[in-house]
């Protein structure tokens, strides 16, 4: 924690620096300008957001010396979106990009399958294999951001969970290549296999909640992940049970049948997980590894 003298020095630096900030013509130079203007900038890594808000509010005119609720909210936004990110820890992005790649591969494979599977029986067989591989890729890569960013400071559990879900995903892909896997009587098994991959994420999520029970981001991301699991699980359930067309045969042949609902829920689940991934990135960028 900074000493009081360091806080006063940083405040005086901010007083001298802030008036020049609105004149910056290139925002990408903001960090360099701040670094040259703030000799004590390296000390910001140990400041809390409360300290930053207090320092910046003291640099503003007298009417903001004791900001009301609205002004305090504005100051928080300044700190969160302008000042704090400049001093963030730059963590690896590959788990987030792996998830995005898996989601795009899944949706692209599904689109190609539905577009070209009517070409021939042989082509339909190949396209369906590609479709199943895409689903497995989406589910397995969905684990990468929550697992990596939750346990990036604990390599053992990070590698354990990532290794297990990768192995499970690859196994599911290989099993889906078997010709017997396409038979109608194995429809429930197919859905159950993918559903089981999703359920396996309960363990790292519970572990995260226990390890970071006092961290607001851990609870916030878990809410997204629970919603994602509900969306994926509901999609798999509708796919396996063929609801609603089993209740009213012929009424949903063009629109509203289980397969269409399944795809809508998968996209909704992927979007929910994307939102959670952004929270993980912001959390770890600002805090790095929790000590």
Last residue of a domain, one of 26, 60, 87: 87
Residue 243, pLDDT score: 85
**For 178, which DSSP code?**
S
Last residue of a domain, one of 87, 107, 141: 87
Residues 130 and 79 in one domain: no
pLDDT tier for residue 35 given thresholds of 50, 70 and 90: low
- The CA distance from 64 to 68, in Å, is 8
Query: What is the number of alpha carbons within 13 Å of residue 265 lying toward its C-beta?
Result: 20
Residues 38 and 106 in one domain: no
Q: Which of 134, 231, 219, 241 is nearest to 177 (CA)?
A: 134
Residues 53 and 174 in one domain: no
Q: Which of 286, 291, 288 is nearest to 83 (CA)?
A: 286
- The CA distance from 191 to 176, in Å, is 11
Q: Which two tokens stand for residue 219?
A: 């609870």
User: Is 234 within 8 Å of 176 (Cβ atoms)?
Assistant: no
Average pLDDT over residues 152-159: 91
Query: What tens digit of pLDDT does each residue of 47-73 get?
Result: 444 455 555 555 554 444 455 555 455
Residues 71 and 130 in one domain: no
User: Is 191 within 8 Å of 136 (Cβ atoms)?
Assistant: no
- The CA distance from 172 to 136, in Å, is 6
Residues 67 and 133 in one domain: no
Average pLDDT over residues 135-154: 90
Residue 2, pLDDT score: 43
- The CA distance from 221 to 242, in Å, is 31
The 10 Å Cβ neighbour count of residue 246 is 11
Residue 237 has pLDDT above 60, yes or no: yes
- The CA distance from 285 to 247, in Å, is 50
Identify the sign of the CA torsion 268, 269, 275, 278.
negative
User: Is 244 within 8 Å of 112 (Cβ atoms)?
Assistant: no
Residue 28 CA: distances (Å) to CA of 20, 25, 89 = 15, 9, 17
Look at 263 and 30; give whichever has higher pLDDT. Answer: 263
Last residue of a domain, one of 55, 87, 119: 87
Residues 103 and 67 in one domain: no
Look at 60 and 238; give whichever has higher pLDDT. Answer: 238
Question: Is residue 290 left, alpha or beta, with left meaning phi > 0 and alpha meaning psi from -120 to 50?
Answer: beta
Residues 118 and 58 in one domain: no
Residues 32 and 102 in one domain: no
Average pLDDT over residues 150-173: 89
CA dihedral 187, 189, 190, 191 (to 10 degrees): 90
Residues 166 and 81 in one domain: no
72 is in an annotated binding site: no
Residues 153 and 220 in one domain: yes
259 is in an annotated binding site: yes
- The CA distance from 11 to 8, in Å, is 5
Residues 259 and 153 in one domain: yes
Residue 131 has pLDDT above 60, yes or no: yes
User: How many separate domains does the chain show?
Assistant: 2
Residues 187 and 272 in one domain: yes
Percent helix, strand and coil across the chain, each rounded to 5?
Answer: 80, 0, 20
For residue 32, what are the domain limits? 4-87
**Which positions ≥6 away from 285 have C-beta within 8 Å?**
85, 88, 89, 90, 91
Angle (CA) 138 224 82, round 5°: 105
Query: What tens digit of pLDDT does each residue of 242-286 get?
Result: 888 888 888 887 888 888 898 899 899 999 999 999 999 888 877
Angle (CA) 75 80 84, round 5°: 110
């Amino acid at each position: 924690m900074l000493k009081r003298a360091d806080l006063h020095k940083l405040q005086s630096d901010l007083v001298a620096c802030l008036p020049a900030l609105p004149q910056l013509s290139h925002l990408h130079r903001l960090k360099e300008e701040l670094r040259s203007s703030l000799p004590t900038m390296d000390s910001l890594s140990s400041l809390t957001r409360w300290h930053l808000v207090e320092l910046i509010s003291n640099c503003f005119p007298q009417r903001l010396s004791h900001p009301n609720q609205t002004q305090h909210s504005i100051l928080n936004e300044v700190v969160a979106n302008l000042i704090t990110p400049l001093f963030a820890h730059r963590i690896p992005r590959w788990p987030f990009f792996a998830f995005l790649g898996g989601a795009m591969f899944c949706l692209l494979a599904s689109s190609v399958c539905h577009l070209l599977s009517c070409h021939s029986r042989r082509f339909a067989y190949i396209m369906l294999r590609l479709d199943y591989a895409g689903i497995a890729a989406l589910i397995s890569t969905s684990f990468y951001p929550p697992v990596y960013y939750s346990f990036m400071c604990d390599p053992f559990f990070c590698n354990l969970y990532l290794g297990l879900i990768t192995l499970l995903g690859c196994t599911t892909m290989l099993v889906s290549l078997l010709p017997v896997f396409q038979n109608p009587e194995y429809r429930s098994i197919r859905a159950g296999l993918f559903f089981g991959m999703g359920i396996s994420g309960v363990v790292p999520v519970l572990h995260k909640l226990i390890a970071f029970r006092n961290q607001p981001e851990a609870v916030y991301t878990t809410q997204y992940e629970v919603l994602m699991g509900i969306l994926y699980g509901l999609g798999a359930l509708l796919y396996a049970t063929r609801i609603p067309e089993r209740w009213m045969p012929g009424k949903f042949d063009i629109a509203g049948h289980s397969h269409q609902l399944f795809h809508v829920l998968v996209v909704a689940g992927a979007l929910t997980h994307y939102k959670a991934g952004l929270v993980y990135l912001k959390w770890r960028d600002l805090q790095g590894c929790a000590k």
